[in-house]
């Protein structure tokens, strides 16, 4: 009887190709590459199974490892079934055909890729499909739904599928429609990935824009695979990566914050409300979705001192924040109910307000546009956005010497790694901060 074994041949502990060996007696031994990849140290070749104590990473999760283990068993059964039907000697071509048929097979009358994407987005919008949130599930946030819908429209554009009812923005460049070429599960490959990246680079899109949609696509493909709609593992290849690049994230200094706070905007009610909402974000280090909705119900008093208490919309984290004197003045101005605002309008107005406050320092930036790095000098006020408020709050608390663990309780960050992404201080500021450290003030004694 034929035996089938899987093995990994690599001395370097990184994702490596998995091979299958088909042996029938002593004369027939065929080795071929499979579409799967594993860390060599994860595979127990003797037992023909994954080791129980493997370390799961972003590159291979527990669910993906289990899926690969199941696929090995299914592929082994498929090869054995086909070998029983043989009336001739097994060959490498025959084995390759069996593997390809198993790996690329597409059951009849199955939901197509585009049908599934639409269903995924519709179910996420209605609340029927929930998003993973730590060890629990929750409804998709407004921002996450925007990302999913944006991916669906972008992927349609790439396939040459018209997005009904969607009009191009006023003044936006109009491109010729791409030839109609709808994709299905087994069409997804590294070639399609490269074509997708090249297509949107050609439209002047940046790496973060493209990477955001690749991330959504991988999420949807994995979900569909778990639902048994396909067995395509191409998205797990290292080359199928989510693009990203560092962008110029600024924060406002204490003096810039003071200028903004003291700026007289009594002649422009809209600007004054936008400025006050933005400053509330700076003084609380929260996201726009949380700081823009502060009201009387968020005000708590502990031992005679007022605090802001809120449950973060994105993470569900409870935060209790001391109220700075400037924030107290702002809240009193609106009877502790911040005026209603819209993020898009705040982003547009806060740049003009920043210019009025003299926040016009030139910032040197590099931006990836269509795969080309462009160097620009931009006024700092033009880089201010709603999320800059959270970054400002976190950074100023850090510079003030507040312990990281205490800032994290206020900001709601769960890990130091995520927290440190928000601390935006230059090397010069770090040097000034360290200059007052006892290490740099005390003369070392020679023993």
What confidence score (pLDDT) does residue 149 get? 94
| pLDDT-based confidence at residue 370 (cuts at 50, 70, 90) | low
Q: How far apart are the first and last CA of the chain?
A: 77
What confidence score (pLDDT) does residue 380 get? 92
What confidence score (pLDDT) does residue 148 get? 95
Instruction: Identify the helix (H) or strand (E) that includes residue 378.
Output: strand 372-379
- Which of 266, 316, 320, 346 has the alpha carbon at shortest distance from 338? 346
Mean pLDDT calculated for residue range 162-181: 76
Asked if residue 53 has pLDDT above 80, the reply is no
The larger pLDDT score, comparing residue 446 to residue 75, is at 75
Q: Hey, is 286 helix, strand or coil?
A: coil
Mean pLDDT calculated for residue range 246-271: 90
What confidence score (pLDDT) does residue 368 get? 63
What confidence score (pLDDT) does residue 441 get? 75
What confidence score (pLDDT) does residue 175 get? 77
CB contact at 8 A, 283 and 326: yes
The model carries a pTM of 0.61
- List Cα–Cα distances, 213 to 77, 219, 230, in angstroms: 36, 10, 20
What confidence score (pLDDT) does residue 286 get? 94
Asked if residue 446 has pLDDT above 80, the reply is no
What confidence score (pLDDT) does residue 235 get? 93
Percent of the chain with pLDDT over 70: 89
Asked if residue 224 has pLDDT above 60, the reply is yes
Asked if residue 348 has pLDDT above 90, the reply is yes
Measured CA to CA, the distance from residue 29 to residue 23 in angstroms comes to: 4
Highest-confidence range of 79-83, 172-176, 334-338, 438-442, by mean pLDDT?
Answer: 334-338
The larger pLDDT score, comparing residue 104 to residue 278, is at 278
Mind listing the pLDDT tens digit for each residue in 98-107? 888 887 765 5
What are the DSSP calls for 248-306, one per residue?
Answer: ------HHHHHHHHH---TT-HHHHHHHHHHHHHHHHT--HHHHTT--GGGEEEETTEE
Measured CA to CA, the distance from residue 391 to residue 399 in angstroms comes to: 12
Asked if residue 43 has pLDDT above 80, the reply is yes
Residues in the chain: 447
Mind listing the pLDDT tens digit for each residue in 86-119? 888 889 999 988 888 887 765 554 789 999 999 9
Per DSSP bridges, beta strands 318-322 and 305-311 are antiparallel
Instruction: Identify the helix (H) or strand (E) that includes residue 225.
Output: helix 207-226
Mind listing the pLDDT tens digit for each residue in 320-345? 999 999 999 999 999 999 999 999 99
Tell me what the pLDDT averaged over the chain comes to.
Answer: 86
Mind listing the pLDDT tens digit for each residue in 385-440? 998 999 999 999 988 889 999 999 999 888 888 887 777 666 666 676 677 777 77
| pLDDT-based confidence at residue 260 (cuts at 50, 70, 90) | very high
Q: Which positions ≥6 away from 91 have C-beta within 8 Å?
A: 30
Q: Which two tokens stand for residue 418?
A: 């995520």
Asked if residue 136 has pLDDT above 70, the reply is yes
What confidence score (pLDDT) does residue 389 get? 94
Asked if residue 159 has pLDDT above 90, the reply is yes
What confidence score (pLDDT) does residue 447 get? 56
Classified by CATH at the fold level, domain 255-435 comes out as hpI Integrase; Chain A (1.10.443)
| pLDDT-based confidence at residue 376 (cuts at 50, 70, 90) | confident
The larger pLDDT score, comparing residue 58 to residue 34, is at 34
């Amino acid at each position: 009887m034929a035996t089938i074994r899987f093995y990994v041949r690599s001395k370097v502990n990184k994702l490596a190709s998995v091979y299958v060996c088909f042996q029938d007696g002593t004369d027939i031994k065929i080795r071929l590459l499979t579409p799967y990849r594993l860390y060599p140290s994860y595979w127990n070749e003797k037992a023909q199974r994954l080791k129980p104590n493997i370390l799961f990473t972003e590159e291979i999760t527990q669910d993906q490892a289990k899926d690969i283990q199941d696929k090995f068993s299914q592929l082994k059964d498929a090869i054995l079934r086909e070998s029983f039907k043989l009336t001739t000697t097994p060959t490498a071509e025959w084995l390759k055909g069996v593997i390809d048929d198993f790996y690329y097979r597409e059951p009849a009358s199955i939901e197509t890729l585009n049908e599934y994407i639409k269903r995924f987005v519709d179910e996420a919008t209605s609340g029927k499909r929930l998003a993973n949130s730590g060890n629990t599930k929750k409804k998709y946030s407004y921002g996450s739904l925007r990302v999913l819908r944006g991916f669906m429209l972008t992927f349609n554009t790439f396939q040459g599928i018209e997005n009904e009812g969607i009009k191009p923005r006023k003044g936006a460049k109009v491109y010729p429609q791409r030839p109609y070429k709808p994709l299905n599960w087994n069409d997804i490959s590294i070639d399609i990935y490269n074509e997708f990246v090249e297509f949107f680079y050609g439209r002047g899109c940046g790496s973060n824009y493209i990477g955001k949609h690749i991330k959504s696509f991988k999420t949807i493909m994995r979900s569909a695979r778990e639902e048994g709609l396909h067995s395509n593992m191409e998205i797990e290849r290292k080359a199928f990566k989510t693009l990203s690049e560092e962008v110029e994230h600024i924060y406002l200094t204490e003096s810039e914050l003071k200028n903004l706070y003291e700026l007289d905007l009594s002649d422009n009610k809209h600007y004054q409300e936008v400025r006050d909402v933005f400053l509330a974000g700076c003084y609380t280090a929260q996201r726009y979705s949380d700081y823009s909705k502060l009201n009387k119900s968020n005000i708590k008093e502990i031992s005679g001192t007022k605090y802001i208490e809120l449950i973060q919309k994105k993470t569900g984290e409870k935060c209790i924040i001391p109220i700075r004197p400037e924030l107290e003045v702002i809240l009193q101005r609106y009877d502790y109910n911040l005026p209603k605002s819209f993020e898009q309008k705040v982003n547009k107005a806060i740049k003009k307000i920043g210019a009025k406050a003299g926040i016009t320092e030139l910032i040197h930036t590099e931006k990836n546009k269509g795969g080309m790095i462009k160097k620009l000098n931009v006024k700092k006020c033009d880089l201010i956005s709603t999320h800059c408020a959270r970054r400002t709050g976190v950074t100023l608390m850090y510079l003030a010497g507040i312990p990281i663990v205490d800032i994290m309780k206020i900001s709601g960050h769960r890990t130091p790694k995520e927290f440190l992404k928000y601390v935006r201080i230059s090397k010069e500021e770090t040097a000034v901060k360290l200059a007052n450290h006892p290490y740099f003030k005390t003369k070392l004694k020679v023993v």
